[in-house]
Structure 1
Amino acid sequence: MSKQESEVGMVAGISRRNLFGLIVLLAMAGHYVLLRVPFFGNDFGRDIAEWPLLTDLLVTFPLLYYFMFRPSLKAFLLKWLGFAALGFWFGSLVIPGEGKVIWRGVENLWPLYLVLQAALEVYLLVFLVRKMRAMTRLSGNVDEAMEQTIHGRLGRGGFAPFALFEARIWYYGLFMRKGERLRFRGEQHFSYDKNEGNASNQVAVIMLLLFEMPLSHLLLHLVAVNPVLAWIVDGLTLWSLLYLVAEYRATHWRPVSLDTDAVLIRYGVFAADRVLPYGMVESISRRSGHVRRERGVLRLCQFGSANVEIRLRPGSRLAGFGGREQVVTRICIGVDKPDAFIDALRAKLQAA
């Protein structure tokens, strides 16, 4: 397939997604009017019908998606579950309390949704992580092992970016052992955990949450009407700790790397990985001070400070979380050895 044909196909694909999104948006707006705005179609608010919304969520939207995009069975089932979950949430908010008949039963199924979410986490935990660990033992490259496993199971679109994010959380939070044995793509690697006590500051936040958890549990037991609330808060705190521990451990071992043709930007697990081709780089320099939030400026420093500024050529776009591209004009990043990083990148730019 020629480059021109590929670009035409890409544009057509984007047009179909936009068209599908517009159809769904207009349909949901129509349901909102039918359910919330008194007019002759709903007998001025006295005849609230839930079945049209339910039909669209479970039948019309999934079939429309299938005929427009022809996805695989796995991708279609995931989209169908997504439509159902979002639609049930929409119906719970929009349908008036006195008009809920079907939705009463739907709302009673929220524990089932939680069980399905837990089952998905267990699936990632038991099957995917085990396979990733086996692949990592063979090559040592944990990033490639994760990507190959997730993309092999779920493809590259849809739920795959979220699954990859969750897999990294579980791996770095619980399963990683002997991080010094991990291997990452790239010819030169640069760390960022010591940048103005970056990793140490993360440990302080983790310890603060651990210290606060028994106190909050005791206070909630004393003041809460239902003691179960205290256990729910404890569970959410432990869940957030898993994410913080994963970020801390990834900060220690996931480097920013220079490869033969691009800068491989890894920064913990919360920030999306990015590949910056050398051809996009206009200049690189030292910087100091606070980086203000601006459109087109990518800030990567965690609890440290940004000490390197990479200026990109006009019109440069980088893929972020989920593969969505965004315009980036500057990348302000913090590394442990900024001068060495700048010299190495300039050498790569001259050789490119």
Structure 2
Amino acid sequence: MSNITLNRLPLLFLLSLVATYAWFYSSSSFLNEYGSYKPEWPLLLDTFITLPLICYVCLADKKQATIKAITYCALIILFGAYFIPTQQKFIWHYLEQARYLVLALVLFIELVVVASVIAAIKTNLNTHADPDESLITPLKRWLTSAPVLNLMQFDMRMWVFCLFAHKIKGENYIGEQHFWYANKDDAKGNALGFIFLMALEIPIAHLVLHFVWSPLAANVISLLSIFGLVLFIGEYRAMSRRPISLTQTHLIVRYGIYNPLHIALDNIESVSPHHEFVPRSNEVNRYNFSGVPNIEIKLRSPIGGKSKIYLGVDSPSMLLNSLNKASDKTTN
């Protein structure tokens, strides 16, 4: 069995556990004496013995296995709080109170890890190394899963640009030539205006929701809005600091806080000007903040299922000429 399949087994078991016991506690059959006997002990055994064992057997990283086991157990306790009949609960009442402490402990551990990573990244940013490499190097020490690593790269880049953008210089990025996109169709000015609108809207919306709907809903929506505001601030500050770069072998597409896309020059079939709207498609990647993309890149071999890349840059003719020259050198 492959490592990818093993890594997914704990989650699959959790989902099957939830589905099975949701049916058991909400149905009437011979298994629960036609609804008269719905004990908590089978779910207790699966939650605190079977599920943690599967996590530790299937996951090589024991830190990750521990965190997943604790998190999944807390989720099952939350599930049991709603599905186990009250008259059948003996131990579960105590677990329902303890789950908040466990979740707070897991959150504290993860915050410590994130703070450590941010401290390491901040230290690395003081050097003249590529800022993207400075970001990913500390993350690789903590994370082994590629999807989680990609998600954390994006998340950490958002916070780094929001908090430490003044330490990042465009010339430190890898590449012989750098190309920019912040001024195309006034993308940076539009982003700044949107940030001001969001900052004004959040307190007003919070007060309206607090009195018209509920305080809990107001708090949840305001927290999500603040997170979105942080994302836009990070994106705004990255626009003028994180370039699209050309090396001797690759075009590195960095756009805002998106994860970089590396395009091998010998994989480029054609590069041409573009002046039309590009609809969403499974075969298309669009890197453009405002207006329509002004460069179309067709690939010989798709990257992540994408065969066409559309870019919006400040000086499309300069990038076109440089790409054509570099592609000719690579072909020769």
TM-score calculated relative to the size of structure 2: 0.83
What's the counterpart of residue 323 of structure 2?
Answer: 345
**Equivalent position of 2:225 in the other structure:** 237
- CA–CA distance in structure 2, aligned partners of residues 280 and 49 of structure 1: 61
The answer to whether 1:278 aligns with 2:265 is yes
Aligned to 2:110: 120
SS at match of 2:285: strand
Residue 194 of structure 1 and its aligned partner are, at CA, apart by 1.2
Aligned-partner SS, 1:128: helix
Aligned match for 1:291, one of 251, 257, 278:
278
Structure 1: unaligned runs, 5 residues or longer: 1-10, 319-326
Matches within 5 A, 1:128-207: 128-157=117-146, 159-180=148-169, 183-207=172-196
Task: Give the match's secondary structure for 2:173.
Answer: coil
Q: RMSD of the TM alignment (CA)?
A: 3.2
279-288 vs 105-114, which deviates more? 105-114
Name the counterpart of 1:256.
244
Q: Aligned in 2, Cα 1:36/1:264: closer, same or farther, shift over 3 Å?
A: farther
Q: SS of the counterpart of 1:294?
A: coil
Report the counterpart of residue 67 of structure 2 in structure 1: 78
**Counterpart residue type for residue 73 of structure 1:** K
Aligned equivalents of 2:94, 2:286: Cα separation in 1? 46
Give the AA of the match of 2:254. R
Alpha-carbon distance between aligned partners in 2 of 1:332 and 1:106, rounded to the nearest angstrom? 53
Q: Which residue number corresponds to residue 28 of structure 2?
A: 38
1:104 deviation in Å? 5.3
Q: 1:65 to 1:124 in 2, by over 3 A?
A: closer
Query: What amino acid is aligned across from residue 34 of structure 1 in structure 2?
Result: F
Contact 1:48-1:99 within 8 A present in 2 as well: no
SS in 1 for 2:298: strand
Q: 1:60 to 1:265 in 2, by over 3 A?
A: farther
**Secondary structure of 1:196 counterpart:** helix
Give 1:141 deviation, angstroms.
Answer: 2.1
Q: Give the aligned length.
A: 328
The offset of 1:250, in angstroms, is 1.3
Partner deviation per Cα, 1:189-221 (whole Å, 9 max, x = no partner): 111111211111111111101122332244345
Residue 300 (structure 1) aligns with: 287
- Judge conservation of contact 1:187–1:257 (CA < 8 Å) in 2: yes
What does the per-residue CA deviation read over 1:232-291, in whole Å, with 9 as the maximum and x for residues that have no partner?
Answer: 55444333221211111112211111222222121112x332222223322221212221
Q: Percent same amino acid at aligned positions?
A: 26
Q: How far does residue 82 in structure 1 lie from its aligned partner after superposition?
A: 4.6
Secondary structure, aligned partner of 2:286:
strand
**Separation of aligned partners in 2, 1:46 and 1:29:** 20
Whether the 8 Å contact between 2:150 and 2:259 is mirrored in structure 1 is no
Equivalent position to 1:309, from 292, 296, 307 = 296
Distance in 1 (alpha carbons) for counterparts of 2:175 and 2:56 = 40
Q: Which ranges of structure 2 fall in alignment gaps of 5 or more residues?
A: none
Identify if the C-alpha distance between structure 1 residues 239 and 317 changes in structure 2 by more than 3 Å, giving closer, same or farther. Answer: closer
- Distance in 2 between residues matched to 1:141 and 1:44, nearest whole Å: 65
Letter in 1 for 2:107: Q
Contact persistence 2:202–2:225 (CA under 8 A): yes
